[in-house]
Amino acid sequence: MADLDEFRTEQRLKNYRQTLELIRKEIPGATISLRTEGANVLVSGIDPRDPNPHFRHIYYSQRRAGIIAEQVQASGLVRYHYDYTTKPYTPSELRQLVRLSVQQGIIPAYLAQFDNMRDMAINDRFGSDYQLHYNLPSPKKGYMMHCLTAVYPWFKAMYEEGGIPGILWEDITCDGVATETQKCEMRFFYKKLTEAINTPQALQARKIDSNFPAQDWRSGSRRMTSFHIDKVLSNPTKSAAPTYTEIP
């Protein structure tokens, strides 16, 4: 099974490599943004025997999905990783994982389902048998817990460790919603982020190496953008505040 997981990962990378060969004829700097579901994390070096069940979930999810981090990172094909995250990683776990991912060359942008994170409570009395699922040394039961997670600590951890904060869109068909409290948290984060990028130190840092990459490829590209790229590129530092859509 381990060999099959590695083979499937190699097949995925072969597909990405062939795809980029075609796309880079029009967009020389193109790279892959990998999108997954299920609280996957593209961090290498995780021990499947780690006592932390969240880390074991990451290890086995990489193999189940055919995205073994060691192989993906070595390929150099994937630059960003988006995941529909449904597991309540703690702020300390998130910081450690995001920091490692960035250091290992892949920038994470997790789309967390804050209103309905899911975790398994392993115990001796309630639920169904989870010894096989979790590779446990003795019989144990597992019971699913639905968790409401605070937005601001998650966003703060993501931003400060080099990741991109995000939230699941309000997908009612799969019970994905943002509560009013969580929307208030995001407004608060937006306010704090705006303050942070407008400090004298931040404004000075943004003047260094802030040139955009060449945009020549756009003139012959067969597509239309959903925003006015010329206005963005003409003066990228004109507006100090980020140009995100305000949450109603």
Q: Taking 70 as the threshold, does the pLDDT of residue 69 lie above it?
A: yes
Q: Average model confidence (pLDDT) for the chain?
A: 86
In this prediction the pTM is 0.78
Specify if 198 maps to a domain: no
Count of alpha carbons within 13 angstroms of residue 140, beta-carbon side: 15
| Beta strands 117-123; 141-147: pairing state | antiparallel
Is 185 part of any domain?
A: no
Residue 233 lies in a domain: no
CB atoms within 10 A of CB 89: 25
Q: Which whole number is the average pLDDT over 100-106?
A: 97
Specify if 217 maps to a domain. no
Confidence of residue 73 (pLDDT cuts 50, 70, 90): very high
Q: Could you read off the pLDDT of 166-181 as tens digits, one per residue? A: 988 777 777 788 889 9
The answer to which of 130-139, 189-198, 203-212 has the lowest mean pLDDT is: 203-212
Q: Which of 74, 73, 43 is nearest to 59 (CA)?
A: 43
Residue 187 in any domain: the answer is no
Domain that holds residue 149: 2-178
Structure tokens at 203: 């404004």
Burial class of 57 by CB neighbour count within 10 A (0 to 12, 13 to 18, 19+)? buried
Q: What pLDDT was estimated at residue 8?
A: 97
Q: Does some domain include residue 68?
A: yes
29 assigned to some structural domain = yes
**Count of the separate structural domains present in the chain:** 1
Cβ of 76: how many Cβ atoms within 10 Å? Answer: 12
Provide the H-helix boundaries in 24-150: 53-65, 69-75, 91-103
Residue 67 lies in a domain: yes
